[in-house]
Chain A
């Protein structure tokens, strides 16, 4: 595909019930009232020259290039700042306008590097405009005062700021303000001295979050990606979906031949509307990192060096080992793990292979350790295991409640959309132990921050519900019409009990009752109340209970079933939703249908032509337990690193170490691969076709931009392994896999690659009832019929602080790194976070004699690690925080085996710990350093072929 140049209409689209008709260059045009002349002209196919305007920014009127003439009016107004009016007659071209524009461009060019204007280098809007106005010789020369020798700011690893090319049009400043909402840039100085400033600091030291909005907005290449400077103008584009978080941004991969030059956010992407974050926009270099493993490898023992072999040998070896194990230990002695980083089609095939070729239901996915309680809780209360809204719904929210999520770090593009709504006046409640950025950031301040103690979510949600029920804030009409009344009355009685009041629960949560009451009243009495939540809800021993508690609250206040409301899980990884939808869990087929449902099972048996088991299989922690017990001996792990990501590392390692055949399929020799006997090289999202499903149930296409580095896409590897196991699968392309999914899954019945290509993306359910998908669920009725209130008794976690472990550790993520860091650690994002640190409150630090940067030990009943301390008032006393992005840190050495009662989602957010000054790194880290070296040796053989 050629390089895609998206249409820029110059100013944002306006929505109005009134239409106006005018004439532009003799053509009649009808647009909504409030539309600019520039946009009206563009919609009529007339491009007015412009430099300071862009259709994702409010008009500014500074460049004076977009001047027009209006019949009956004096002067030449800027078309970007002049609204269309009925009956107007507008001329966009005349000798006078041409002369004016030429003069303006000539002045700009008189202080612009001539090689950037006339050379054959990278394209820019500035060059296009010079051509558009017929700019030839510049009469003023470059001898006068100018900015041509201004110093470049190359501090950011991904882009350069060259002030010599800056025309001070403010697009970058406005993009930072209006699109990203960070307000890191400004125009300093006046007149000739005016310049773009990141707070008088180099970009890297400023508040800039490297989202790339300014670079994208720049019309002159003053801000430009370093990869474009190094690799030159891209010559083709492939529209695809980002492989990072659950926002699922749409991007144009811009390439020069088979080399990616840059990733540009795609304006038509319905999840991101042309915006991006530092990960998706810039941190894609991992795809071609030197650490990529591109040859299959095997070894007899994990202490042996890896031996490179052919695909045939590796697949054959894995299959024969799995067969041997099943013959010796039984059918149920092996299983597989699908990945939220892989496509729907790939996860579908892995669970299919487990069920059909392994002959059991021992399939699970990494959603086990993040959002499995979302699936359980929302299915129980509403009838379906997914969030209720699309992202755009936030634009209609009046009160936003964020519980246990940190969107500016973990879902930054959606956070920008949310912040825009907050700047428009939506109210904000934050329920989080930490003072996350949204509590107070430029032009955003939470009305309530409820800094509860980790582990007390359910007490908090019950207290909020108590206020709603006892203060007459229930939406009785909604409940009567939409919900199971017997269950509601049972719940109402429970939650009204005094022990659930804010005053009573304050003893657990630590949050003043008055604040809880205020927050509950605000949420219940705002017109549209929307709840957004993350792993701070799910990763608890009562994760599923809390999800049901939020669903109760939304139903009781009627905040479900329309735009602006809802229960919205912010999914961590790019395809958490999809991997769950595709039947990765051991008890469910695709579409969340239990394996014991005879009719469902028979439909799969018919299609797959194999007998299927009706009993649930093992979850990941059960597999590990069974391995230690000696009944589980082999596993196929696609794109998942359980050693680094799952809790209690020593337990996971012991389980894997007890297995006889561990097959890992991944881009890199990840931590789990240290325990593997077969390594199958994976393919990055740039190397294959497929789909991802984001947090709003949006199915987006992943399109192959470059060939697979190891020769096979991941789905092809699973197909080969299945065939070697004696269960051939016949697909020529992932589209055929999706066709099969659609045939067998009612909520996907209307999905096809053809429709995805035509419409861009689709939100399931997509079927005869909703042929173009479903942005908002439960409109008019719940999927399960009547909404079901569940009693949510607060049960304190068994993980308690003691004299030995007096602090609570909670773990999480930061903006620049992603999950286990396998991708982002192999990019320049390390400049922001090259190691995990322990955030600790000043008083806790002082009590322990800990200063900023000191090496400290972090110990729990599970294990001990060491890491540097960061003194932070974001923490409350008694609570410490770290991330798990770096393998050497081993954050999960410390976390425990406690988990959610319903789903076994680990209780990452509550671990009792002690923190002390340390003199040397921990025993575990020393052991890791030695064994990691041993288990990752590769013996290169000249005879190996692929």
Chain B
């Protein structure tokens, strides 16, 4: 899950930060089933170690 999230973040990392965070957030919302989003939200709540900063930021927008 962390690997997948980081891959998504790396794609959007080429864009300006606001656009990138929005892109990652949108991707989570459109393609990740709720239980997957719940898992990553919980993961971030427990520190989110190893997550790309854009993914971390995006997860905050999911909450």
Contact = CB atoms under 8 A, between A and B. Distances in A.
A586 interface: yes
B4 interface: yes
A140 interface: no
A626 B7 contact: no
B21 to A, nearest CB: 15
Contacts of B11: 544-545, 793, 795, 901-902
Interface in A755-801: 791, 793, 795, 798
Given A626-B35, A793-B14, 15 more contacts: A332-B34, A494-B14, A545-B11, A587-B31, A594-B30, A616-B31, A617-B33, A619-B31, A622-B33, A631-B35, A795-B7, A901-B10, A902-B11, A902-B27, A903-B31
A56 interface: no
Contacts of A494: 14
Interface in B1-58: 3-4, 7-8, 10-11, 13-15, 27, 29-36
A899 B31 CA distance: 14
A541 B7 contact: yes
A904 interface: yes
A128 B19 CA distance: 72
Interface string A611-639: 00001111100100010000100000000
Nearest to B5: A901
Given A793-B10, A793-B11, A902-B8, A798 B3 contact: yes
A654 to B, nearest CB: 17
A898 B6 CA distance: 12
Using C-beta atoms within 8 Å of the partner chain, give the interface range for chain A: 20 to 34
A310 interface: no
B34 A901 contact: no
A615 B27 contact: no
Q: Determine the main DSSP class of B at the interface with A.
A: helix
Contacts of B33: 332, 361-362, 586, 615-619, 622
Interface of B: 3-4, 7-8, 10-11, 13-15, 27, 29-36
Contact of A616 (B3, B13, B14, B32): B32
A596 B27 CA distance: 13
B4 A904 contact: yes
Contacts of B13: 793
B8 A901 contact: yes
A901 B14 contact: no
B8 to A, nearest CB: 5
A332 B15 CA distance: 35
22 contacts: A332-B35, A362-B33, A541-B7, A586-B33, A587-B30, A587-B31, A594-B30, A596-B30, A616-B30, A616-B31, A622-B33, A793-B10, A793-B11, A793-B14, A795-B10, A795-B11, A901-B8, A901-B10, A902-B11, A902-B27, A902-B31, A903-B31
Contact of A615 (B3, B4, B34): B34
A898 B4 CA distance: 9
Nearest to A362: B33
Contacts of A793: 10-11, 13-14
A626 B35 CA distance: 9
Contacts, number: 53
A544 B8 CA distance: 11
Contacts of B14: 494, 791, 793
A494 B13 CA distance: 13
Contacts of B27: 902
A931 to B, nearest CB: 30
Contacts of B3: 798, 898
Interface string A868-909: 000000000000000000000000000000110111100000
A52 to B, nearest CB: 59
Contacts of A631: 35
Contacts of A594: 30
A224 B48 CA distance: 68
A594 B27 CA distance: 12
Contacts of B10: 793, 795, 901
B31 A901 contact: no
B43 to A, nearest CB: 13
Which of A544, A594, A902 gathers the greatest number of chain B CB atoms within 10 Å?
A: A902
Nearest to A798: B3
A911 to B, nearest CB: 16
A674 B29 CA distance: 35
B18 to A, nearest CB: 14
Contacts of B30: 587, 594, 596, 616
Nearest to B1: A625
Contacts of B29: 596
A587 B26 CA distance: 13
Given A616-B30, A793-B13, A901 B7 contact: yes
A826 B28 CA distance: 43
Closest 4 CB pairs of A and B: A901-B7, A791-B14, A793-B14, A618-B33
A545 B34 CA distance: 25
Nearest to B6: A901
Interface in A907-934: none
A587 B4 CA distance: 17
A626 B1 CA distance: 12
Nearest to B36: A622
B2 to A, nearest CB: 12
Nearest to A898: B3
A7 B37 CA distance: 60
A618 B34 CA distance: 9
Interface in A492-525: 494
B34 to A, nearest CB: 5
A325 to B, nearest CB: 16
A793 B3 CA distance: 17
A631 B27 CA distance: 23
A901 B32 CA distance: 12
Contacts of A545: 11
B22 to A, nearest CB: 14
A901 B4 contact: yes
Nearest to A613: B34
Nearest to A586: B33
A798 B7 CA distance: 10
Interface string A345-385: 00000000000000001100000000000000000000000
B15 A791 contact: yes
Interface string A584-606: 00110000001010000000000
A904 B32 CA distance: 11
B61 to A, nearest CB: 16
A594 B7 CA distance: 22
Contacts of B4: 899, 901, 904
Interface string A528-550: 00000000000001001100000
Which of B3, B13, B14, B31 gathers the greatest number of chain A CB atoms within 10 Å?
A: B31
Nearest to A360: B33
Contacts of A626: 35
Contacts of A615: 33-34
Contacts of A795: 7, 10-11
Contacts of B8: 901-902
A233 B36 CA distance: 59
B33 to A, nearest CB: 5
A901 B34 CA distance: 18
Contacts of A362: 33
Nearest to B9: A901
A358 to B, nearest CB: 14
Interface in A312-342: 332
Nearest to B13: A793
A240 to B, nearest CB: 36
Contacts of B15: 791
Contacts of B32: 616
Contacts of A901: 4, 7-8, 10-11
Which of A541, A615, A899 gathers the greatest number of chain B CB atoms within 10 Å?
A: A615
B24 to A, nearest CB: 11
A639 B11 CA distance: 34
B39 to A, nearest CB: 9
Contacts of A903: 31
A586 B35 CA distance: 14
